[in-house]
């Protein structure tokens, strides 16, 4: 799905991968060098986008911390596992862009969501909402778009859903660089949810599930 996020002034970008949990890059050892034992990295849950050559760098893309998790609680003043409803977490994010000369920037993103049902969740179906915002780096929000994320748990306690989104960012002219933009992603959350996230408290999507 391609969306045009209009802005008063626009800029450009290069390929970038911004997972929620950073993973160290590893390369092949050169000849004559001993191969070092390295701890196994967590496997990638989905394939990253192919990097492409551009006229300049891509915008910085990240998940906003205050909206990175979605947690329904019966009582935010006294949070307990028994009071958890539906939950969600943005688990992974990869992004890449393409633009030439004075063309607008096309930004393609793959977003991985982990979603769960706690003891207070009612039913198998739930429609979450998330948003993508384009900002002028470290300043004002230029545009913001909301998206529905319908989920059917089909009797399961947790599901993972991958979403692919494309947005188009206009540029004032060929000198407008993608590095002047920042793209933020997050769940639509209530003020109580945002404060819960800011406090560092969290319930994973598996909250409230019984373990053997």
Q: What is the pLDDT of residues 125-137, one digit of tens each?
A: 999 999 999 998 7
**Contact assessment for residue 160 and residue 92, using Cβ atoms and an 8 Å cutoff:** no
Question: Is residue 44 in some structural domain?
Answer: no
Residue-number span of the structural domain to which 164 is assigned: 2-20+52-198
Question: Is residue 31 in some structural domain?
Answer: no
CB atoms within 10 A of CB 163: 15
Q: What is the pLDDT of residues 66-112, one digit of tens each?
A: 999 999 998 888 888 889 999 999 999 999 999 988 889 999 999 99
Question: Is residue 203 in some structural domain?
Answer: no
Cα(154)–Cα(20) distance, integer angstroms: 27
User: Using only C-alpha atoms, what is the Rg of the chain?
Assistant: 20
Q: Average the pLDDT over 155-177 and give the result.
A: 92
Question: Is residue 204 in some structural domain?
Answer: no
Amino acid 141: pLDDT: 92
Q: Domains in the chain: how many in total?
A: 1
**Contact assessment for residue 124 and residue 150, using Cβ atoms and an 8 Å cutoff:** no
Question: Is residue 134 in some structural domain?
Answer: yes
Question: Is residue 62 in some structural domain?
Answer: yes
Total-model pTM = 0.71
Question: Is residue 37 in some structural domain?
Answer: no
Of 172 and 33, which is predicted with more confidence?
172
Q: Angle at CA 5, nearest 5°, toward 183 and 176?
A: 70
Question: Is residue 87 in some structural domain?
Answer: yes
Nearest to 132 by CA among 88, 197, 67, 57: 67
Q: Which residues contact 54 (CB under 8 A, 6 or more apart)?
A: 12, 13, 14, 15, 97, 98, 99, 100, 178
């Amino acid at each position: 799905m391609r969306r045009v996020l209009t802005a008063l002034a626009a800029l450009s970008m290069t390929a970038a991968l911004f997972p929620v949990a950073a993973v160290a890059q590893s390369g092949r050892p050169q000849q004559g060098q001993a191969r070092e034992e390295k701890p196994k990295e967590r496997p990638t849950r989905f394939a990253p986008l192919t990097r492409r050559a551009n006229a300049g760098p891509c915008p910085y893309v990240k998940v906003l911390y205050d909206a990175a998790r979605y947690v329904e609680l019966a009582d935010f003043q006294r949070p307990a596992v028994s009071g958890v409803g539906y939950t969600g977490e943005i688990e992974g994010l990869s992004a890449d862009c393409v633009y030439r000369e004075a063309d607008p920037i096309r930004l393609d993103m793959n977003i991985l969501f982990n979603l769960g049902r706690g003891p207070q969740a009612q039913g198998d179906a739930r429609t979450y909402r998330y948003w993508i915002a384009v900002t002028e780096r470290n300043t004002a929000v230029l545009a913001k778009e909301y998206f529905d994320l319908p989920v059917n748990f089909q009797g399961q306690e947790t599901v993972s859903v991958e979403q692919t989104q494309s947005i188009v960012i206009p540029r004032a002219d060929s000198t407008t660089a993608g590095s002047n933009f920042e793209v933020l992603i997050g769940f639509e959350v209530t003020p109580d949810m945002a404060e819960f996230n800011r406090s560092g408290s969290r319930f994973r999507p598996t909250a409230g599930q019984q373990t053997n």
